[in-house]
Structure 1
Amino acid sequence: MEPNTDPVTAYYGLLLDGTASFDPARLRPLLADELVFEGPIAGRVVGADRFVRGVTGFVETMRGMTMLHRLAGDGEAATMYDAELPGGTVRFAEFFRLADGRIAGLRLLYDADRYRAAGGR
């Protein structure tokens, strides 16, 4: 694995640990201060602290995760995974932009209606 993808590997390591051991303080150092997040429900959000709050809510709802695909290039990575939520499985795709060893941008794609119906928050 290329060194520039390490923050993404660590990010998913935290998510895959689930609620029992998820610690937002371990997530924060992986993120650029001015991280730009884009998602179907949140829209465009700037700032790592706001992103951490959102991820924490997701992890608290998630019952499990199955990684389906992962690609990495110079300064970028993409993943596709299924998340088990209380009301069923929802498929997600995430596209990462990396800078200075941190996650600087993240675009998340999923069916927002399906996510809400499955108990996502």
Structure 2
Amino acid sequence: MSTNTTERTAALLDGYYDSWKGGLATFDEARLRSLLAPNLDFEGPIAGRRTGAEPFLQGLARVVGTMRAFHPLQRIHGETEASALYDCDLPGGRVRFAEFFRVAGDR
């Protein structure tokens, strides 16, 4: 396992969460666009399946707009894959999220 690519994957995850974990006041859409692949594939229990960065960003902004707190629980990352487990305090209560990422190039 290459340390450089593993560190790069960790840095991408840091940038992704740092861009929105502080809530809507710190939501950095430009930074997120620079990190997300334009053709990303997202699937979730609430939003269903979304293809492309733009639909994903719109949905993320809606969730972040209602988020009261972000509680990271666990992250795992390797050269080209990563996962994160976290809780968010939303209007209906605390919700657990699990995300899985594939990294290619700088996204």
TM-score, length basis structure 1: 0.78
Richer in strand (by share):
1
- What residue in structure 2 maps to residue 35 of structure 1? 40
| % identity of equivalent residues | 51
Tell me the distance in 2 between the aligned counterparts of 1:68 and 1:6: 17
- What residue in structure 2 maps to residue 4 of structure 1? 9
- What residue in structure 2 maps to residue 98 of structure 1? 103
Residue identity in the other structure for 1:5: A
Matches within 5 A, 1:65-104: 65-102=70-107
Give 3-state SS (helix, strand or coil) of 2:94's partner: strand
Q: Deviations over 1:36-70 (max 9, x none)?
A: 11111222211111111111101001101110000
Quote the RMSD (CA, aligned, Å). 1.3
CA contact (8 A) 1:37 1:51 kept: yes
Unaligned stretches of 5+ residues in structure 1: 103-121
Unaligned stretches of 5+ residues in structure 2: 1-5
TM-score, length basis structure 2: 0.88
Tell me the distance in 2 between the aligned counterparts of 1:85 and 1:41: 14
Where has structure 1 moved over 6 Å in runs of 4 or more?
Answer: none
Matched, 1:52 2:65: no
Tell me the distance in 1 between the aligned counterparts of 2:61 and 2:89: 15
